[in-house]
Homo-oligomer: A and B are copies of this chain.
Amino acid sequence: MSRRGLFIRASSCSNGMMIVKLGGSVITRKDRYRSFRREVTRRLAGEIADSGERVMIVHGAGSFGHLLAAKHALHEGRRSEKQIPALARVMQDVRDLDMKVIKELADALLPAVSIPPAACARMKAGVLDTLDVRLFRDYIQLGAVPVTFGDVVLDDVKGFSICSGDQIIRMLAKEFAPKRVIFCADVDGVYTADPKSDQKAKLLRKVDSTYLRKLSRGTSYVDVTGGMHGKLSNMVEIAERGTEVLVINGLEKGRLRAALEGKEPVGTRVVGV
């Protein structure tokens, strides 16, 4: 075993652990307020359980978060007292979604433990600053499956801010050096253009930082939670530290399980250089 291998084992409790992102567009219908995709989430929970792999789960807020958050400009931080009822409401909605996800995981016999970022993370000017990673480590060591999610989080500069699931994954991946991070999206992977609006969009089977540099921020397509450039940049950074990164379609049966088991389902592999 290389010294680096030893170092990774000593500095984390990953031991082949994986992180699964359940995208907000997969577990909810993003354009319909508070619309949960129970059947999809149930199937994905089953695929995680069937794989037998040890995972941490991070889910998006989807239509339980983004619609109201955008309406009340919560991403801009505290601007008026009128936002506070909306802040409370969005937190309540997202927590409701989380409980629905937790229920499906529990029904699949996964001992899921919900860790809300609102109670263990801090942001600074919209960037995740601290996350109590010890919580995740300790719950994993107990044998539980930590579950966290995109949330409204206290911000030391802006009062509060929106913390995306992707920001959390970035920090967890840095801390735990997981074997693999699997992003479940509502499309087959990373495309050359938005596959929902551009028929010529082609699925990329592999993306690296070279491709990322070619992507102009201005022209790359943008999804609801931020630009594709930002998402990809995040994934490349994780991959460059030696973690396998996959983007797959969570709406297609069996792909998450295949990805967890190290098979190569349809999707995009993001690699470091």
Residues in chain A within 8 A of chain B (CB atoms): 78, 81, 84-85, 87-89, 91-92, 95-96, 99, 102-103, 106, 109, 111-116, 118-120, 132, 135, 138-139, 142-145, 154, 159-160
Residue numbers in B under 8 Å from A113 (CB-CB): 87-88, 91, 118
Q: Separation in Å of the A149 CB from the closest CB of chain B?
A: 12
Q: Is the CB of B106 within 8 A of A142?
A: no
What is the bound-complex CA distance between A103 and B154, given in angstroms? 21
What is the bound-complex CA distance between A138 and B89, given in angstroms? 17
Q: Separation in Å of the A23 CB from the closest CB of chain B?
A: 23
What is the bound-complex CA distance between A228 and B111, given in angstroms? 34
What is the bound-complex CA distance between A270 and B235, given in angstroms? 57
Residue numbers in B under 8 Å from A142 (CB-CB): 78, 84, 87, 159-160
Known: A113-B91, A119-B120. A99 touches B96 (CB 8 A): yes
Q: Which residue of B lies closest to A135 (CB)?
A: B119
Q: Is the CB of B111 within 8 A of A87?
A: yes
Residue numbers in B under 8 Å from A78 (CB-CB): 142
The 9 closest A-B pairs by CB, nearest first: A88-B111, A119-B119, A84-B143, A119-B120, A84-B111, A85-B111, A138-B154, A115-B119, A88-B113
Give the residue of B81, B84, B103, B116 whose beta carbon is less than 8 angstroms from that of A119.
B116
Q: Is the CB of B84 within 8 A of A92?
A: no
Other contacts beyond A84-B144, A119-B119, A119-B135: 9, CB < 8 A: A85-B109, A87-B111, A92-B102, A92-B106, A95-B102, A99-B99, A116-B116, A119-B120, A142-B159
Q: Separation in Å of the A210 CB from the closest CB of chain B?
A: 40
Q: Is the CB of B119 within 8 A of A106?
A: no
Residue numbers in B under 8 Å from A115 (CB-CB): 118-119
Residue numbers in B under 8 Å from A89 (CB-CB): 106
What is the bound-complex CA distance between A132 and B113, given in angstroms? 19
Q: Separation in Å of the A158 CB from the closest CB of chain B?
A: 11
Q: Is the CB of B99 within 8 A of A95?
A: yes
Q: Which residue of B lies closest to A154 (CB)?
A: B138
Give the residue of B92, B112, B120, B143 whose beta carbon is less than 8 angstroms from that of A103.
B92
Residue numbers in B under 8 Å from A114 (CB-CB): 91-92, 95, 116, 118
Q: Is the CB of B144 within 8 A of A87?
A: yes
